[in-house]
Structure 1
Amino acid sequence: MSEKGNKAVNEISKKASECPVTKVTVYKDRAEVCRQLETAVVAGVNELHIKEFVSIEEDSIRVEGQGNATIAEVSYQHKFVAEDEATTTDKVKKLKDELRHLEDLKKTLDFDAKLAALIKQWSILDNFAATAAKHGQGEDSEDKKNFKLDNGYFTGMREFLQQYKDIGIQLEAERLDLENKNEDLTKKIETVERNLQEASICYGGHENRECVVVLEAEKETTVQLTVTYVVWGASWSPVYDLRMLTEQGDLKIFYYGLIRQNSGEDWNDVKLFLSTAEPSVGGTIPTLPATQLAVKKIRPPAPRPEQFLRTAVMSKKSSAPPATMAYSMAPAVERAAIFHTPVQVTESTTSTTYEIARLSTVPSDYTEHKVTVAIIDLKPTLTYVTVPKVVPHAFLQAKVINTSQYTLLSGRTNIFLDNSFVAKAEINSVAPKEEFECSLGVDPGLRVDYKPVVKVNSSSGIISKTQCITHEQAIEIKNIHDYNVKVLIRDNLPRSLDEKIKVNLISPFIDAKHPEKTESVRLAKNNNVEWDLEIKGLDKVEVVLKYTVEHPAAEEIEATTSIGN
């Protein structure tokens, strides 16, 4: 009991660690933490000191609660306290040992050598497939004469292609597993290095921060308080597992939140909320500055050093003294009875908050901790897309409508095809009821052969000679699956930027006036030629892009590439 202003004040002291964290709302760059405590107060003025706070946003602290008392004042203050040298040294030693262990594990992994070996195995497999295909068709006239397309040939080809597919899936799984292990070790090493750096910086002492709550009561009673404040060093990001089950035709999206925090306090068994709000952006509408034009004036020469010094001294003498900073805050509810009405808001006009069903534990180690937001079942429309000029593979693509109530934020995805991990990708933001497309990775069951282009040169004219180059590009797609697939093939028709150069499409025929007559082939955006095909099981299809380029024989053509223009 102490006296302040001739009034007896009952002082109560608690550590922040003694007040359990019950609720945390994580934003993109910070988190709001709620701690609860119960304390007895006497009649009159009570001063509650909650000590050993972590670094917080000072203006964010507020206190609410229940009980027959009144909050008179809430303030926040801190002071420097020397730290025990032995404690800091032991912490740094443990971090250095952990860093050395992780670096040894990364050396043992030998990522570069193992990745090179897998790439070499892929090359050997492709070369073997090419050799087997040539041998099956016969290289000399005698072999071609004895070559028969009988049932034995197709059975052997089917078995070979199945083995090629199985070995390809195995090699790809080994490559992805190797990359995941290397990425995981790299992240852990970065985290330990960051923690080691912070421990070294903090060597020698720390700031002791405390919140002071002044409570006034008419009689002795017990009150329950909720202390809410914002901490830095916390963030969350979405990540997804896309699992495509081809037999059922179902797409399952496992929506996770990756939480990282180094606020200095551990969150153990707390109710967790993930918010899409961005407090860092602010809520004030910016003012649009006016744009003014004037004749440019010649700048005067720069002042001499002694002239600048004289001006600086004069300015310093005339400046006002700096304002002092106080750590006290206005009370959240001034001289009002403490009544708490719980309000749960899951969605507003500007943001959405996801409530995690299970209690979660997130230590202050700045490593990623995964929590499940939702599991979403969707019915996609599947098709294959190939751009063989860039990558000679077929990508399985799903077109789907987000029928859930969840907004899918931009984030990275792990793609599984029939429970096999196939690739990593990115997903853009998708609102509920919005249609979106997502790539499900490369399917080795479709082989794409982008054959060498055939060019034929010719010229015409006597006085003004014109050179004509005919380009013929063949694309072959083999379906190794025993079921039909829909494939979109996309290739590029060059576009002339000069009236002297003329590009004429010969094949495929596209009726520009009546596009409905050639629905399966079209000239799309960026002068891309697109074919919509359905390939039967264990069958192959070949399409041909043929066009001519005419230009003056005396002129030389320069070819450039661009994306999205």
Structure 2
Amino acid sequence: MAKTPPHKTHIVELTSITDTKITNVSLYNGRAEITRICTPHLAEGDNQVIISGLPNVLLEESLRVEGHGPCTIHEVSISDMKMVPPTTSSPKLDDLLSQKTRFEKAIARCRKAIGSVETFHGSLDVQHVQAVQLGEMQQGIAAVAEGLDEKLLGLEEKCEEVTKAIAEERKVLGETKVDTNLRKQVSVTIFAERDREVELVLIYGVTNAAWDATYDIYVKTDTKEKPVTFIYKASIQQDTGEAWEDVPLTLETVTPSFGVSIPELHPWTLAVYRPPVYRSIGRKSKSRGLSFGGGGDESRRLAQKIMHRYASSVEEEEGEEELMAYALPVHAPIRNRGLVVSSKGDITATFTIPGLITVPSDNACHNVTITELELDAEMSWISVPKKSPKAHLTAKIKNDSEYTFLSGIASVYVDGSFISRSEVPAVSPQESFDCPLGIDPSIRITYHPRSRKVNRTGFTRKTCSYTFEQRISIFNTKPTSITSLKVLDQLPVSEDSTITVNLTSPPLVLPAANKKGVAKVPEPVKITEGAGANVNVQWDGAEDSDTDPSLLGKEGKLRWVCEVPAQRTIVLALAWEVVCPYGTDVMGLDE
């Protein structure tokens, strides 16, 4: 009876760098998904395709293998590559290594001789050399040193030539540097119906890869329409061990979510607190003859001492022998340790970088531009001249594009000059965000010295009245007007019933309750400052929709909103009086 020939498995060995190609990279925050394609030639029957040189940071649970062609994938496995030492020996290599050793020893001897000459030269003095022989001696030493220097240079050149020859010989022998970052290999067992080439697709995730959103914001303060140029960029880093060369890249913001199951409510119970009751455990002592729970005074004192130790500490002292023992409190509740897992749903977006991109595995930042946008913005200025007579410029930028802005750092430029680096929050399309633009030097603010007058009034009950006036000058040096300059200031607030503070200018009133007892926010007070100037003043916080009207003015803060024409100056005035009994020493008047 004829024997059936033994079944053979056709082995196909591929290297990821040379035999496969990356066709797509999807980059997430902290990881990336790589798609590789290869076309091995399979024999009819069982085949084992081994793809080596994959990165060590490959996530094994993420590996997927797909195929196109008349074949069936039976098994997929991942393992570490075996380190096979290359052939490192040959007669020529041995001779070169011997030459290098001889040159290195000759170089060492030459350097030692040079050192001896220098030592000898340094030891010469008048006791060893006469004055008439000094010139001849110096020339002899210089000649010997020069000869040794030339010999050393020649030996070093020959040693370098031999070193290069050794490297070339090892390259011929196949001794190449092993990349320790690419030591994973994938083995795919495939059954093919006939001999042919098939297409295998490897999809796997890797760590050590991430991207962050960065921005360049250019603002033109003299432009009304689309004053903001918004450059959306991505800073890409990867240290996976494999270079991404000429690959299509997709930036993803979706991150895996954990703990998204619906939480469960546990019973919420109430009970009357009862202090813990401690019980004693009797145990005889061989050394003293005492027992826990006995009637002696010494026994009770020792028991009280141990119970006090238990009540004041939650840690058990081990390794000490005690004459007494204590028990746990009766009905003591048992605490369950809870594990808190949070899942934060961030704004998600997907960006496809146009064209192909190369990102080496060097863990360096590589910036690519996603898009450049022209956006609308509302400029506003705010100043607190009591603390600093400067106008802080802020732009409220509206994202009227189809792109989602992720949180990231922005470099801000105003009229071509770098101003600062600020943080951009996560912004969806059609949302707005505030962007600080630094100090605007073209708005000059002067906080004048405060004037003060003192008056005494009354015959039977004398009182003292302090009148204060604060002036603030604002000069707009711009060739265009500014429409939203906010100026904050304050008047003092009394904390004593004998001291009264009255606001005399501007004529603001505190919120008053209507018939239903509901306080209403007072309307802003309009102040005329000449042609083209428009000034409104109100209590600070009155413009916020969530402010409690009854709290307005409690802190004495007020806010002017000014429209200042080009090349014009406006003056804001704040006046108040402080009334108190005569002779009262009022603290805080001159802050």
Bin the TM-score by the shorter chain: 0.5 to 0.7
- What's 2:66 paired with? 64
Deviations along 1:447-479, one digit per CA (max 9) or x if unpaired, are 233344556678899999998766544332221
Higher helix share: 1
Closer/same/farther in 2, CA of residues 80 and 465 from structure 1, 3 Å limit: farther
1:39 CA displacement: 1.4
Q: In structure 2, how many angstroms separate the alpha carbons of the residues matched to 1:551 and 1:236?
A: 64
Going from structure 1 to structure 2, the CA distance change for 1:444 and 1:221 (only over 3 Å counts) comes to same
Conserved? CA contact 2:494–2:500, under 8 Å: no
**Which residues of structure 1 form unaligned runs of 5+?**
1-5, 85-202, 308-347, 561-565
Take 1:426 and 1:300, find their aligned partners in 2: how far apart are those partners? Answer: 46
1-structure distance, mates of 2:320, 2:17: 58
Q: CA RMSD in A?
A: 4.0
Which structure is richer in relative contact order (CA contacts within 8 A, separation 6 or more)?
1
Q: Deviations over 1:253-308 (max 9, x none)?
A: 111111122222221111111111122x436336367577785864676152499x
Q: Are residue 417 (structure 1) and residue 394 (structure 2) matched?
A: no
SS at match of 1:404: coil
Aligned equivalent of 2:212? 237
Superposed displacement of residue 358, structure 1: 2.5
Q: Which residue of 2 aligns with 1:222?
A: 197
For residues 70 and 269 of structure 2, the distance between their equivalents in structure 1, rounded to whole angstroms, comes to 62
Report the Cα distance in structure 2 between the residues aligned to 1:82 and 1:453, rounded to whole angstroms.
Answer: 86
Instruction: Letter of the 1:231 partner, please give it.
Output: V
Q: 1:367 matched to which residue of 2?
A: 364
Alignment pair present for 1:433 and 2:430: yes
Aligned counterpart for 1:445 among listed residues 436, 442, 454: 442
Whole-angstrom distance in 2 between the partners of 1:14 and 1:559? 84
- Alignment partner, residue 94 of structure 1: none
Contact 1:80 1:205 in 2 (8 A): no
Are 1:36 and 2:37 matched, yes or no?
A: yes
Does residue 272 of structure 2 align to residue 256 of structure 1? no
Query: Are the aligned partners of 1:81 and 1:205 in contact in 2 as well (CA < 8 Å)?
Result: no
- 1:520 aligned counterpart, secondary structure: strand
TM-score, structure 1 normalization: 0.61
Cross-structure match for 1:515: 523
Instruction: Rate the CA distance shift 1:557–1:540 in 2: closer, same or farther, 3 A.
Output: closer
The 8 Å contact of residues 442 and 476 in structure 2, kept in 1 or not, is answered as yes
Q: Aligned pair in 2 of structure 1 residues 75, 468: CA closer, same or farther (>3 Å)?
A: farther
SS at match of 1:259: strand
Match of 1:24 in 2: 25
Bigger Rg over Cα: 2
Q: Which amino acid aligns with 1:8?
A: K
Q: Normalising by structure 2, report the TM-score.
A: 0.58
Distance 1:502 1:454 in 2: 19
The partner residue of 1:268 within 222, 233, 245 is: 245
The 3 A distance-change label for structure 1 pair 271 and 537 is same
Sort the Cα spacing of 1:75 and 1:507 in 2 relative to 1 into closer, same or farther, 3 A.
farther
Instruction: Write the letter of the residue equivalent to 1:544.
Output: A
3-state SS of paired residue (2:566): coil
2:236 & 2:224 partners in 1: Cα distance?
A: 33
Question: Identity, % of aligned pairs?
Answer: 29
Q: In 1, Cα distance between the equivalents of 2:315 and 2:381?
A: 67
What does 1:272-351 align with in structure 2 at a 5 Å threshold? 272-279=249-256, 281-282=257-258, 284-285=260-261, 287=263, 290=266, 298=311, 302-305=316-319, 351=348
Flag the 1:14–1:354 CA change in 2: closer, same or farther, 3 A.
same
2:183 counterpart SS class = strand
Q: What pairs up with 1:464-503 in 2 under 5 angstroms?
A: 472-493=469-490, 500=497
| Aligned 8 A contact 2:486 2:560 in 1 | yes
Tell me if structure 1 keeps the 8 A contact 2:524–2:538.
no
The AA in structure 2 aligned to 1:71 is I
**Deviation at residue 51 of structure 1 after TM alignment:** 1.2
Tell me which protein shows more strand as a share of its residues: 1
CA distance in structure 2 between the aligned counterparts of 1:494 and 1:82, rounded to whole angstroms: 83
> Matched residue of 1:17: which SS?
helix
